[in-house]
Amino acid sequence: ATTKDLQNIDNAHHLHPFTVHHELRETGPRVITRGEGVYLWDSEGNRIIDGMAGLWCVQLGYGEQELVDAAADALKTLSYYNTFFQTTTPHAARLAQLIAEKTPDGLDQIMFGSSGSESNDTAIKLIWYYWNLKGKPEKKTIISRERAYHGSTVAGASLSGLPFMQGIFDLPLPRFHHVGPTPHYYEYGNPGETEKEFALRCAKAVEDKILELGPENVAAFVGEPVMGAGGLMLPPEGYWQEIEKICKKYDVLLWSDEVICGFGRTGEWFGCQAYGYTPDIMTMAKGISSGYQPLSAVAINREMADAIVNADSEMAHGYTYSGHPVVCAVALRNIEMIEELGLVGARGEEISAYFQKKLAALDDHPLVGQTRGIGLLGGIELVKDKSTKERYQPEGEAGLICRRHCFENGVIMRAVGDTMFLCPPLVISKDEIDELFDLVRKSLDLSHKELSA
């Protein structure tokens, strides 16, 4: 089929996530046909360097033969079985063990699902179940943050702090509350306020919210170590340590949503390790399988696990594909390879440092208000005036213009509002990082020219 044929078929039948469909149908989707390493090819033969690792997930890059072999072997041996009937499979059991080795001490009980949103739904139910078992059924309220992204199921969208995902769907559900300011110093820090003071103010807002809702009602506080899809926002210095103290003080479970930050993205296995806090519960997906197969997981600590494991009631939750043997086989090999290749370790450190140096070098660009990042995550803030942080109007347009120039010049960066994201595969080399940033700079130059015209 030609590109045009495929676009016509797609336009006729395919609804895309988070898309204005009449706009997409005017241009037709770009058809991506092949991937290898950090590169993708479209149906017209254009090569694109993927600065987003798909959707923050392809840690090992595209076409890794070992993962293909792991899937093929597992498919041939046992193409499917469930974990409901007091049954397990070798891959599911070994994967649970391997994840438990990587999580912080004590978080060693693992439940599987297929997507980040599903793992967050599972976490909510495990939290509610736990408090019920502890004789505190009223502890059901969950606090998350303004501008958080936690998925798009009914519960995931309720957790998310993005009003455009909520209003028209009558969300959030009752018992889901959001707190601000969003811990993003560049945007919400007051004039004269130090980063540390700002961190304390953000944490105090969480404490005030717990007190307002009543600690006896608050089950958990959830946050992404680095806020991802809402704008690539790094926590201010000391923020997580304060949050940890507050959660302990009020007997509120601390839940780290590691869907983006997990599996080497921030340099450690998990973002909570990079920022030095220990959650009671973690959710993970994406990099767990490098996106080759849909997989997610929840890890809970011993206290939660003890209550659940010793309960006489059945834990009435789970999915047909919880612990799917093929999916688990791929994830197992993926995590082993992240380790073997030193992507969490020496090679990861060297590549991250190189990436962060190149990212910071964009600070001199006239369109760039701030660059920020950790590990192989980067954010670039597009502004009209660097000193006042004034944005181009209408907000978001500069981001779209930049995204278009990137796409036309063979590099993928995602735009949310006027923030551009970078999140390349962890296997990216220094030469490929050079190429990535050459194209990013070229796209920024072209965007600046267009915006200043």
Stretch that binds ligand PLP, among 143-151, 164-172, 179-187, 240-248 (CB under 6 A): 143-151
Task: Quote the tokens at residue 35.
Answer: 């991937």
For residue 134, give both structure tokens.
Answer: 């502890």
Under the binding rule (CB under 6 A), the answer on residue 265 touching ligand PLP is: no
The strands making up 47-50's β-sheet, listed across from edge to edge, are 32-36, 39-42, 47-50, 411-412
Determine, following the binding rule CB under 6 A, whether residue 257 of this chain makes contact with ligand PLP.
yes
Which residues, at least 6 apart from 178, have a Cβ–Cβ distance to it below 8 Å?
A: 143, 144, 145, 146, 148, 161, 172
Stretch that binds ligand PLP, among 115-123, 175-183, 188-196, 427-435 (CB under 6 A): 115-123
Backbone angles phi, psi at 205, to 5 degrees: -65, -35
Where does this chain touch ligand PLP (CB under 6 A) — which range of 123-131, 194-202, 222-230, 390-398? 222-230
DSSP 390: B
CB of 423 to ligand PLP, least distance (A): 10
- Closest residue to ligand PLP in the complex (CB): 116
- Asked if 116 touches ligand PLP (CB under 6 A), the answer is yes
Number of H helices, E strands in the chain: 16, 15
Q: Check binding of 421 to ligand PLP (CB under 6 A).
A: no
The verdict on whether omega for the bond into residue 394 sits within 30 degrees of 0, i.e. cis, is yes
- Site size with ligand PLP, rule: CB under 6 A: 15
The string of DSSP letters for 276-307 reads T---SEEEE-GGGTTTSS--EEEEE-HHHHHH
Distances in Å between the Cα of 291 and the Cα atoms of 109, 251, 315, 323, 415 are 22, 35, 28, 15, 21
Candidates 116-124, 338-346, 351-359, 394-402 — which segment interacts with ligand PLP by CB under 6 A? 116-124
When asked if residue 225 is in the footprint of ligand PLP (CB under 6 A), the reply is no
User: For ligand PLP, which residue of 145, 150, 201, 414 counts as binding (CB under 6 A)?
Assistant: 150
Contacts for 226 with CB less than 8 Å, ≥ 6 apart: 232, 233, 234, 235, 260, 261, 266, 271, 374, 377
The 3-state DSSP class for residue 356 equals helix
Q: Which is nearer to ligand PLP, 377 or 382 (CB)?
A: 377
Piece of the chain touching ligand PLP by CB under 6 A; list 26-34, 43-51, 146-154, 422-430: 146-154
Check residue 269 for interaction with ligand PLP (CB under 6 A): no
In the complex with ligand PLP, which residue's Cβ is closer, 234 or 362? Answer: 234
> By C-beta, is 260 or 444 nearer to ligand PLP?
260
Strands, E, within 172-329: which ranges? 176-179, 218-223, 253-257, 281-284, 296-300
Nearer to ligand PLP, 17 or 167 (CB): 17
* Binding flag, residue 222, ligand PLP (CB under 6 A): no
Options 39, 112, 130, 149; binder of ligand PLP; rule CB under 6 A: 149
Site of interaction with ligand PLP (CB under 6 A):
115-117, 120, 149-151, 156, 224, 228-229, 257, 259-260, 285
